[in-house]
Structure formats: structure tokens, C-alpha cells
A and B are shown apart, each in its own frame.
Chain A
Amino acid sequence: MIGAADEADPWRPARRIPWRPGIRRRTWVGWLFVAPALVMYGLFVLQPLALTVQYSFYRWDGVGPATWVGLNNYVAVLSEPRLVETLFNAFRLVLFFSFIPVALGLVTASVIQRVATGRLATISRTILFLPQVIPLVAAGIIWGRLLSLSGLINQALTAVGLGDITEAWLGDFDTALPAVGLIGIWVLLGFCTVLLLTGMTKIDPSYYESARLDGAGWFQEFRAITLPSLRNEIGVCITVTVIAALAAFDIVYVTTGGGPGGATAVPGIQIYIVAFLERQVGLASALAVVLMVLVLVVILPIQRLSRGSDL
């Protein structure tokens, strides 16, 4: 490698085809370009990733000696109700964080695309995007307020004559998870709508013209033209929102902390509690591995379906 670099004048390619000469030298230089990024990624992502897998086979309190326990931690993750329940909760959140924003986003975007032009479109796009840029912690605090006994939700319910059903939505065992889900909808709906809307503007308007000549209504147009053309964007929306649901942490931490009675305990929260409050590092790591595998298993087929085979 060094020999190639020393040959003649390394600064000047010898022949017309620029990529052939000195290719070994350039290989070496090319890897130098990748090295810093690779080192940071290796040190602070791949290394801890390997450590998570390693920890997951031990019982360790983070201070004393660790004991090899084989697959016991995994058995616990998949059998202890309080841990299994977090996995179910993660999938329940998918309904709110992913399914509803994508479905609602599709409808809204297709409506907006037909009616909103100019000023109104720009302003509404900006506003709908707001929840996406604020810290999730802030979104959680704001909604913790809205969903409280004296909050805006109950105020609105009372105003329309539904005063009987008001309650502390985040504090009730049955309503806490849907309430957290509602926050997710608020954060993600605008994002999905704007993303889908961008996709829709790329659809050739002549498709719609001819569909309308054939007497197609909104729904037929939507099903026959809009939906198939947006395969890619829908895939992206589902991917982003599913990851947001399965890996939810910030919102849950500030609103319920996983409570009441574990009703909103999701894997992210449970990893934090088990690792740093209960000091069962091995068990928390096993849960972390399960979570990471789960995300991959859910995301890969979605990517395949929406993108075809390119990567």
C-alpha cells in the first residue's frame, strides 16, 4: 500500500481514465475519510450494542461481580407478566402512534390537496408541523396538563354536555394508555399529513382529470390513484411512527412514568426502571435486546413492501 503511494508523483494521475491509476493509494486515503465517523459509531453505538448483548447473559447489579445466567434473563423477559406486558403495551401504542396518524393523515392530506392553495396551504403546513419540532418532553408536559382533571379536554367535554365522563385521563388504569396514545397522535399527525401531502403533489393531475371524466368520486379517486401512488410515502410514515411507538420514552416518562399500575409501561421505560432504579442490569439488557430485535422484525417487512428491493 505504501509502495503504491510512493510511486513517482502521487498527486498526478498517469493516465486519462482517472479511477484506475493509484487506486490502492486512493483506497487507503478513502478509508481515512471514513475512519473518524466509523470510530465514533463503533465506540458509542456498536460497542455498547455488543455490551448490551453480553450483559443480557449475566446477573449484575452494576457494581459487584456478575454471574453468568445463560438465557434466564430472556426467559424472565418473556414470562414475567410485568415485562411481557410492556411488549404488549408497545404494540398497543402502535395503534395510536402509527395506525391512526397514517390513516387520518391520508384522509386529511387528500382533502387539503384538493382545497387548500397558496397562503392557507403554507401557513397550515407550518403549524401542523409544530409538534414535530418541540421537545417530546415539552409535548408531554403540555398534554399532561390538558388531560388532567381541570384540563382543556375535560373543559371541552363539559362544554358539550359530557361532564359525566370527565376524569384524570392519565391517572386511570383503563384510559392512561389511550391518553398517552392521543399525545402521540398529536405529535405525529401533522408530520404524516405534510409528508403525504408532499407525495400527493407529485402525482400527475391528468390521472385525476381522466378519473373525473369517468365520473369518479373522492373515494374512488383516493383508492384507485392516490393510495397506490403514495406507496413509498406511506411506507415512510409507517416506519417512522412504528419506531416512535415501539421506542417511546420521553412522553411516557414525563406524563405517567409507566403508571398507573404499569398500565403505560413500555419497553423503554421498563429498561430505564429495571437498569437504573432496580439495578438489574442483565435483565434490563435482555429486554433491550428483545426490543431491538422487535423493531427490526417489524420494520424490515415494511421497508421491503414499500421500497421494493433497493436496499
Chain B
Amino acid sequence: MRVARRELYAGRALLIALVAITVLPFLSIFTTALYPSGAVPTGLSWPADPQWGNFVEAFKIANMGPLLASSVFIVLAVVPVSLAISTMAGFAIGLLRIPGARFLLLLFIFGLTLPFEGIITPLYFLARQMGILNTRFAIVLPLIGLFMPFAVFWMRAHFVNMPSEISEAARVDGATTWDLFWKIHVPLARAPMASLGILMSVWAWNQFLLALVLVEDPSQRTMAGGLGAFQGHYATDIPLLSAGTILILLPTLMVFILFQRQVITALLQGSVKG
């Protein structure tokens, strides 16, 4: 497409401005984190004497070690289970077309628009009743359930587009339903499963409301939940709070930079399908 030179420059300028607006907040929080603890720095300015030790300090007082372990535990408990059961359900609804498949699909889709706040109150009482309140399972179990609408919908969208010849050939060769699923369709579904896994990991890591309401001890929470508690205690110590925020951002940022293509594609497809 040919574009006039002036337009080219104007467009690039707009793009660069947008990128700057996205990046500046990160820069500002970074320079703020380097000021002496307790200072009130101006927006974007380099400190005379950068306090790199703030990160160590924030790591200690935010109890970052256990918090990291806790978040990893939650992600590892939620994501593989969600992935396995949603793939099975998507396979049954999209490919086996079991009777009632349409009803099941609608039932799961119904949950897609559901705001978490809508069910957080009963979840609290349910968790209390089950005796899992204030444990990580109070986050893990509801989160698996809450991921189901999207995850099943996502996997079903993959299976429904698989050509039926593959399954028919396998059936003729005498494959059981389980063989069909495990030996043939799971290997073929690796790409959508990987995207879904990445998406759910990011969402679990960033989950705040469930952590806030269902788990009182910050070190048993997700990273986002821990950050919320940290903010409550250190709201006045701006440099330290900034350092803590950066530490909590880092893992997400690293995952994003490592898997950026997959993450972007997954998030975009996820929203288009959802």
C-alpha cells in the first residue's frame, strides 16, 4: 500500500507517542523505587543516590519467597487440572456431539459473562463450610470452576472444526473413545491447549478478588493478592511500595516477553472466541 510521506511520519509519530504513554508509567515506578525509603519523589526523576537495596528490602518485607511459592503452587494446581477436564469436555461436546451437547455448550457459555463479584459472597460461605477457607484450596477449587466456561468453549471451538474423517478412520481401526481422545485428538490439540494453558496461568497469577476474600494470610495468596496486602501495609512508603510492585510484575513480564507471540495470539483469539 502506498502512503504519502507526510502521512507516514504523522502515523509513526502517533505510534511512538502511544508506545511512550504505555512505557512511561513503568519508567516512573522504576525510578520511584530507587529513592530512599520514605521519600516522596517527583513523577519521573532519577535519584541522586539510587537505592538498589530497596528491592532486597521489599523482597523481605513482602515475604516474597513464600508468596512466589504460593503463586506457583496455585498455578500448578489450577492449570493442569483445568486443561485436562476442559479438553475432555470440549472433545465430548465438539467432537463426540453427545446428546445434550448443545444444551451443555449453552450452559457453559452462560458462565462467560459472569462477573466474579456476582458469586464471591456465597463462595466465601461455601469455602467456610468445606473447611478450606484461608487455605490455597479456597482459591484453587473455585478458580478451576470459574475457568470452565471459557476453557470448555475454547477447546470445543477447536474440536468442532476437526474433520470427521480422522475420527472415522480411527473408529474403523477399532479405536475406543478413550484411544480416539488420548492417542489421536490430544496430540492434534497441542496448540490450542498451549495457548489456553498460558492464558489460564496468567489469569490465575493475576487473580485478586478470590485471594482477597477467601485467604486472609497474604503468603498463601496469589501474587496479585499479596501485592494488595503489601499495599495496605506500606501505602505511605512510596519507594518501597514501588519496588514491591516491580518485583511482583517481573514474573508476569518475563513470561510475556518469553512467550509474547503465543500470549498475544492467545489473548486475541480468546476474546474473539469468547
Contact = CB atoms under 8 A, between A and B. Distances in A.
What secondary structure prevails in chain A residues at the interface with B? helix
Interface in B82-132: 84-86, 88-89, 91-93, 96, 98-100, 104, 107-109, 111, 113-126
Contacts of B148: 37, 40-41, 45
A141 B227 contact: yes
B146 A45 contact: yes
B119 A41 contact: no
Nearest to A152: B43
A191 B267 contact: yes
A48 B122 contact: yes
Contacts of B192: none
B224 A136 contact: yes
B56 to A, nearest CB: 19
B32 A18 contact: no
A146 B28 contact: yes
A254 B244 CA distance: 14
Contacts, number: 316
Nearest to B167: A18
Contacts of B238: 145
B152 to A, nearest CB: 6
A18 B104 contact: no
Contact of B23 (A127, A145, A249): A127
B135 interface: no
A141 B231 contact: yes
Contact of A55 (B107, B121, B177, B256): B121
A224 interface: no
A115 B7 contact: yes
A33 B96 contact: yes
Question: Size class of A's contact patch?
Answer: 35 or more
Contacts of B255: 133
- 10 tightest A-B CB contacts, nearest first: A44-B145, A152-B43, A115-B11, A30-B98, A247-B115, A18-B171, A51-B122, A37-B89, A155-B43, A33-B92
12 contacts: A33-B181, A37-B151, A40-B148, A47-B122, A51-B122, A114-B11, A133-B263, A152-B43, A193-B18, A236-B272, A291-B115, A295-B113
Interface of B: 1, 3, 7-8, 10-12, 14-15, 18-19, 21-26, 28-29, 32, 40-44, 84-86, 88-89, 91-93, 96, 98-100, 104, 107-109, 111, 113-126, 141-142, 144-146, 148-149, 151-152, 167-168, 171-172, 174, 176-178, 181, 202, 205-206, 208-209, 212-213, 223-224, 227-228, 231, 238, 241-242, 245, 248-249, 252-253, 255-257, 260, 263-264, 267-268, 271-272, 274
Given A112-B11, A135-B248, 16 more contacts: A29-B177, A34-B104, A37-B151, A41-B148, A44-B141, A48-B119, A111-B10, A127-B22, A133-B253, A135-B224, A135-B252, A189-B18, A288-B117, A292-B114, A292-B118, A299-B113
